[in-house]
């Protein structure tokens, strides 16, 4: 069992078993070139903004703070469509014998493929953003899709899923992981195609494609970082739910900067921190979260790690953090009301989680032991991904404008 250090409500684990050679081939530039080729074929594709918070960085003694704003991804207000549409495409390629290196959206929308694809039905469980991506992708291809959401999901997110692609959406009375098992069973019974962003024994190929789909934003970011005049980020903070996004970021970053991998940190809500709990156990195995599974960070409210990405999340990050909702709320306010001439980033509860932690480490003297442990100083270039915009507008307003969850 590994030591957990705590300052106020923020918990940290240092990984004593970091293995920087455990870089996954799954997320190499060569193995993800098909992803970028397909994404470029989607109308409206473009690199999402990489926002540099220059005034904030100068005020708090680091070289740069960089935020990849995924609220601009495909007009979905979140990053998840990048993984969902690629997984659907790879599944279709497999079923219809299409070369994934050659496939484009226009090809799938034309005869003779269109007629066969429209016979397919897709199903998934989501906290919001993944389901929106699946509904959008299925809608572009003229397919039927069903999306099930766990209890506590807000209706505005459900309606957004319906509006973007016509999926049939149901908010259930089950927690996330129970809902995943339910949709997997339903898919088997109905002969539908399950496109889920978590994995378990026997269900790993499709989640692997989803994880690869997320790599596009990191390869974009690497190019943008170079254009800004930086060789690499020195520190990367990434949020985790089941760990699909976290694995995609950690794996792609490690492949791109394999000769000098940044300090990698995973952040999670303390009430559903399955990656943190797995790291705490320290036996190399994935473990179920131990908290209440109640958090405003809806996109991270997942209690069972993804088996595809856990091996890389076990070996590559140097630190794991868990903290309460008020830290994420703080991040929303920091990004939503920027310093000086910095660009505003509208970031939802899950998207702003890394910034909430970073702001504590940089601004608050009581967190200096953690700051010093990570080596954050005047030479640091900090990178994070804001994974979503205001996907719950009312909740966003209550935090950013009304000061809910103060810290």
Query: Which of 196, 226, 260 marks a domain boundary?
Result: 196
In this structure, the strands spanning 319-323 and 193-194 are unpaired
pLDDT of residue 128: 83
Residue 88's CATH number: 3.40.50.1100
Total Cβ atoms within 10 A of residue 43: 8
pLDDT in tens, 31-43: 999 999 999 999 9
pLDDT of residue 286: 97
- Give the integer Cα–Cα distance in Å for 8 and 375: 20
The answer to whether residue 282 is domain-embedded is: yes
25 belongs to the catalytic site: no
Identify the active-site residue in 80, 177, 315, 390.
Answer: 80
Identify the active-site residue in 68, 69, 127, 132.
Answer: 127
Same-domain check for residues 249 and 339: yes
Its domain, for residue 105, covers 81-196
Determine phi and psi for 160, rounding to 5 degrees.
-65, -35
Same-domain check for residues 380 and 248: yes
Same-domain check for residues 297 and 250: yes
The answer to whether residue 313 is domain-embedded is: yes
Same-domain check for residues 185 and 221: no
Q: How many separate domains does the chain show? A: 2
- Largest Cα–Cα distance in the chain? 63
14 belongs to the catalytic site: no
The answer to whether residue 201 is domain-embedded is: no
pLDDT of residue 288: 96
pLDDT in tens, 312-358: 999 999 999 999 999 999 999 999 999 999 999 999 999 999 999 99
Q: Shortest CA distance to 323 belongs to which of 377, 375, 361, 286?
A: 361
Query: Which of 164, 196, 228 marks a domain boundary?
Result: 196
- Which residues of the chain fall short of a pLDDT of 70? none
Same-domain check for residues 11 and 86: no
Structure-block tokens of residue 91 = 């599944």
pTM (2 decimals)? Answer: 0.95
Same-domain check for residues 104 and 64: no
């Amino acid at each position: 069992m590994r030591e957990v250090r705590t300052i106020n409500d923020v918990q940290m684990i240092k990984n004593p078993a970091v293995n920087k050679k455990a870089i996954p081939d799954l997320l190499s530039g060569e193995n993800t070139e098909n992803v970028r080729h397909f994404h470029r074929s989607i109308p409206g594709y473009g690199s999402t903004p990489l926002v540099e918070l220059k005034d904030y960085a100068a005020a708090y003694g680091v070289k740069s703070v960089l935020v990849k704003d995924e609220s601009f991804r495909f007009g979905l207000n979140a990053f998840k469509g990048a993984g969902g549409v690629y997984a659907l495409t790879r599944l279709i390629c497999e079923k219809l014998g299409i070369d994934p290196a050659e496939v484009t959206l226009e090809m799938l929308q034309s005869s003779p493929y269109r007629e066969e694809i429209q016979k397919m039905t897709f199903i998934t469980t989501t906290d919001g953003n993944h389901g929106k991506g699946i509904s959008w992708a299925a809608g572009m291809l003229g397919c039927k899709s069903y999306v099930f959401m766990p209890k506590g999901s807000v209706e505005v997110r459900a309606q957004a899923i319906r509006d973007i692609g016509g999926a049939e959406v149901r908010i259930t009375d089950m927690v996330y992981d129970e809902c995943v098992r339910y949709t997997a069973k339903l898919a088997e019974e109905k002969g539908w195609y399950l496109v889920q962003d978590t994995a378990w024994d026997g269900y790993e190929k499709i989640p692997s494609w989803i994880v690869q789909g997320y790599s596009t934003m990191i390869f974009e970011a690497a190019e943008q970082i170079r254009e800004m005049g930086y060789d690499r980020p020195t520190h990367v903070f990434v949020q985790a739910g089941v760990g699909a996004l976290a694995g995609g970021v950690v794996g792609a970053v490690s492949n791109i900067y394999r000769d000098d991998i940044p300090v990698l940190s995973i952040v999670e809500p303390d009430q559903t921190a399955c990656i943190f709990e797995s790291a705490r156990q320290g036996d190399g195995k994935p473990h179920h979260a131990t908290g209440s599974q109640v958090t405003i960070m809806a996109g991270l409210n997942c209690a069972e790690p993804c088996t595809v990405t856990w091996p890389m999340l076990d070996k590559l990050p140097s630190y794991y953090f868990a903290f309460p909702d008020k830290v994420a709320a703080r991040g929303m306010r920091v990004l939503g009301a920027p310093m000086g001439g910095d660009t505003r980033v509208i970031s939802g509860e899950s998207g702003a989680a890394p910034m909430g932690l970073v702001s504590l480490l940089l601004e608050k003297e009581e967190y200096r032991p953690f700051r010093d442990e990570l080596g954050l100083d005047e030479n640091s270039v900090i990178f994070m991904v804001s994974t979503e915009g205001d996907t719950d507008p009312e909740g966003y307003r209550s935090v950013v404008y009304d000061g809910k969850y103060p810290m």
